[in-house]
Structure 1
């Protein structure tokens, strides 16, 4: 029984550790193997793209997705964790947008076409859906005038789309890694061939495997109903910005000794 109870604790911890390792490995790969970062339109600007997209669309997105699966939060007010969820997702979205700016800037300066590959289609679709998901989630679950009926209608779609966006993000990352390797490792101009599996290919392939593993762990947590946060009376509790403001007002009244 203790092992069963501890299992939901281990899974978010595994997500946290693997996410940090994934970010660290990605930074190492771009800094040491791809010669670092700049924001000047060169290939060094492009290096920001995989790091920011992986950190935003995969790692931070995964962190935000499993916030409600941490057991010690289940007996606490949901509002702080809802705000943390929204904050992590917003940060992930912003990093993803900056990552897109990095690759568009690099392509435009070097007269490289944009949005012609399957990788770019999948990646841009993931970011657009992510932005729409965040706006809908904010409107449905945090705005004080959002009706409970709309929350109940939105919640299952919100959960399903969340997992779908993560799947698209993982697909975009691994297709982008493969595309980059095919472009760079052609076996000419003193470069090795991808088919010979040089160290750069081993490092990049390993990053892709780590991304897939991270995504699978997050999806496993999200699809296991026994690890979902219990809701009182099986209903969505109305933790909204309005309730947060009322709690702040009550706290100030207590501080002033004027609790009504």
Structure 2
């Protein structure tokens, strides 16, 4: 029979996903019928609906602890990942309960920050005046918060699971690049205004946190491009980079939230200083609206973190994500 390798089967109660069979290089493929006819693979009324099948490599590594060993082999199959039975790939209804507010609160953030700049600060222009500064909060909220947050949860959206992940990696990277460009444009707006008005740059804590956020964002995007999109990226580098990429992504979102909240507060202290109208501590209409905008941004970020924190809503693995590049076909 030649080389025989073991396959571990593991049944989980997680959300319904595709069944995948992982094959190693220069090994014979599994007889799919032998797997699909196992009692563990048949759905029951209790909701056992997800089968993960993983090859045990010669060095003994495995992804899940086995509870059933299968030895039936099918000859002449090359190393690749095969999708097996096609159970529903839809996450629980609870996902949509979180994702719809994510979209709605993000849109409300954009509308609110635009209304704040237009209603109380005279609108927008690009001439170095205070009207150019009004672009700064709009572009930063749009790029660093709303667009960034939606790009972060892109892989959790179920209709993206049915296409190749490379396609959505490109969409994810493009959205992140657009978010980065918007944030850089927002920095240009405030620096041009400061230069025209002879206002010093980079003296406040808000400006320090903001510039660090954008620099970290740019570094993160370049790392993601090198690790996950360039075909010459070594598999070991990509696997080591992934947890760092995830951590940095969350850290940037936290820093973005911090920058926006401190920026709103700083703007209110500057404009509501009592010299023309009511002071900030009297809580005029603008202060109430801007404070509400800050709470709305906080709510959006919390919803994004809520979506990211649920492992059951992760995209199912495919061969583009899991198989080593030197054995992909």
TM bucket (normalised to shorter chain) is: 0.7 to 0.9
Q: Secondary structure at the match of 1:21?
A: helix
TM-superposed CA distance for 1:75, in Å, is 3.2
Q: CA deviation at 1:138?
A: 0.6
1:110-121 pair list within 5 angstroms = 110-121=197-208
Q: What corresponds to 1:181 in structure 2?
A: 268
- Residue of structure 2 in register with 1:224 after alignment: 310
2:323 corresponds to 1:210: no
User: How far does the alpha carbon of each residue in 1:157-193 deviate from its partner, in whole angstroms, 9 at most, with x for none?
Assistant: 10111010000000000000001111111112x3210
- Partners of 1:76 and 1:38 in 2: CA distance: 42
Report Cα offsets for 1:104-151 as digits up to 9, x if no partner: 011111111111111001111110000000000011000011111111
The whole-number CA distance in structure 1 between the counterparts of 2:97 and 2:174 is 23
Q: Which moved more, 1:79-88 or 1:94-103?
A: 79-88
What is the alpha-carbon distance in structure 1 between the residues aligned to residue 238 and residue 279 of structure 2?
Answer: 53
User: Which has the bigger relative contact order, CA under 8 A and spacing at least 6?
Assistant: 1
- Structure 1 unaligned segments of length 5 or more: list them: 247-260
* Alignment pair present for 1:63 and 2:150: yes
Tell me, in whole angstroms, the C-alpha distance in 1 between the residues paired with 2:319 and 2:97.
27
Which TM-score applies when normalising by structure 2? 0.69
Asked if 2 retains the 8 angstrom alpha-carbon contact of 1:148 and 1:236, the reply is no
Kindly provide the CA deviation profile for residues 170-224 of structure 1, in whole angstroms up to 9, marking residues without a partner as x. Answer: 0000000001111111112x32100000011011111101111111111111222
Distance in 1 between the 2:214 and 2:153 partners?
19
Count of matched residue pairs: 240
- Where is the helix percentage greater, Structure 1 or Structure 2? 1
Q: Partner of 2:162: helix, strand, or coil?
A: coil
Query: Could you say which residue in structure 1 is the equivalent of 2:279?
Result: 193
Residue among 98, 108, 112 paired with 1:25: 112
In 2, the alpha carbon distance for the partners of 1:234 and 1:98 equals: 34
Query: Cα distance, 1:85 vs. partner?
Result: 0.5
1:9–1:71 contact (8 Å) kept in structure 2: no
- Counterpart of 1:139 in structure 2 is 226
Contact 2:91 2:312 in 1 (8 A): no
Aligned partners of 2:239 and 2:280: how far apart in 1?
A: 50
Structure with more strand by fraction: 2
CA contact (8 A) 1:23 1:51 kept: yes
- Other structure's SS at 2:233 match: coil
Q: 1:88 to 1:237 in 2, by over 3 A?
A: farther
Answer with 24-33 or 116-125: which moved more: 24-33
Match in the other structure for 1:15: 102
Q: 1:166 aligns with which of 250, 253, 269?
A: 253
- Contact 1:166-1:215 at 8 Å conserved across structures: yes
Judge which range, 105-114 or 12-21, deviates more. 12-21
TM-score by length of 1: 0.87
Q: Gapped runs of 5+ residues in structure 2? A: 1-46, 48-87
CA contact (8 A) 2:177 2:221 kept: yes
- Distance in 2 between residues matched to 1:167 and 1:101, nearest whole Å: 22
